[in-house]
């Protein structure tokens, strides 16, 4: 059982929904980023999504693109992202960390080396947005063998024919992208999301977490009411990008987490 599985078991027992927060590793700099990440569990975050900075983040909107750029300019690399996770683990051995990013940096490091290093750093799961199920042998299967969850995205365009393929080797949870397009764009609507979550849940026992387009405590709660939890990324990253003090960023995160937990 991974930390992700354990977390969902614990939430299920408490009849609580999950709140997942995304931050870009190294944004705006390594030390501030580490301070934010260390503060997330205390702000009510159940699972941390740690963005891996990449030069060509095609699924990300301007807010997260700029965060990646700031991180890269500050010298952030895959190695330093793993170092950040290692530092976090010195104080917290239970909160799951999912690394989210693109395949190129992982491929460059070498899959075997990366998986060994990720496991040692305390990474629990991977979301690699540009590796479709057809490429499962590349990273998904080796990751699962190494004891990491491989989390797949389902979208409004994932039809009934495609869905079983998407779910086939997914573990940990399913990440449902509530809108078509890039991160941080339109607002997620629970009325649209609910039936889609139900459709996915009819084909898997995995929790279904919804992200993209959740920006307020109210929308966090509304989405958590129709899913197993909510993910917020761009709205948090925007606060960091605005140069808000870490305490203010974490207070905002807490308001979002309280929203999801009140569902």
Catalytic residues: 49, 60
> Phi/psi at 17 (nearest 5 deg)?
-90, 160
| Closest to 19 in 3D by CA, of 35, 34, 41 | 41
Secondary structure (H, E, C), the chain? CCHHHHHHHHHHHCCCCEEEEEEECCCCCHHHHHHHHHHCHHHCCCEEEEECCCCCCCCCCHHHHHHHHHHHHCCCCHHHHHHHHHHHHCCCCCCCEEEEECHHHHHHHCHHHHHHHHHHHCCCEEEECCCCHHHCCCCHHHHHHCCCEECEEECCCCCCCCHHHHHCCCCCCEEEECCCCCCCCCCCCHHHHHHHHHHHHCCCCCCEEEECCCCCHHHHHHHHHHCCEEEECHHHHHHHHCCCCHHHHHHHHHHHHHHHHCC
């Amino acid at each position: 059982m991974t930390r992700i599985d354990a977390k969902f078991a614990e939430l299920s027992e408490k009849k609580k929904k999950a709140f997942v927060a995304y931050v870009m590793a190294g944004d705006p700099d390594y030390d501030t980023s580490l301070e934010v990440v260390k503060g997330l569990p205390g702000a009510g975050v159940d699972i941390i999504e740690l963005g891996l900075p990449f030069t060509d983040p095609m699924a990300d909107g301007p807010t997260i693109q700029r965060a990646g750029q700031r991180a890269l300019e500050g010298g952030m690399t895959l190695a330093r992202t793993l170092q950040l996770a290692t530092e976090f683990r010195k104080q917290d051995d239970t909160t799951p960390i999912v690394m989210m990013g693109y395949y190129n940096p992982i491929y460059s490091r070498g899959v075997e080396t990366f998986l060994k290093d990720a496991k040692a750093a305390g990474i629990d799961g991977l979301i690699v947005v540009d590796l479709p199920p057809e490429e499962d042998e590349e990273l998904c299967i080796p990751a699962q063998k190494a004891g990491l969850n491989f989390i797949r995205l389902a979208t409004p365009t994932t039809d009934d024919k495609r869905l079983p393929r998407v779910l086939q080797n997914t573990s940990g949870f399913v990440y449902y992208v509530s809108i078509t397009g890039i991160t941080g764009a339109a607002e997620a609507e629970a009325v649209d999301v609910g039936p889609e979550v139900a459709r996915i849940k009819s084909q898997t026992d995995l929790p279904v977490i919804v992200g993209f387009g959740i920006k307020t405590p109210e929308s966090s709660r509304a989405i958590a009411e129709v899913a197993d939890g909510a993910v917020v990324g761009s709205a948090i990253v925007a606060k960091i990008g605005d140069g808000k003090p870490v305490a203010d960023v974490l207070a905002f995160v807490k308001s979002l987490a309280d929203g999801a937990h009140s569902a």
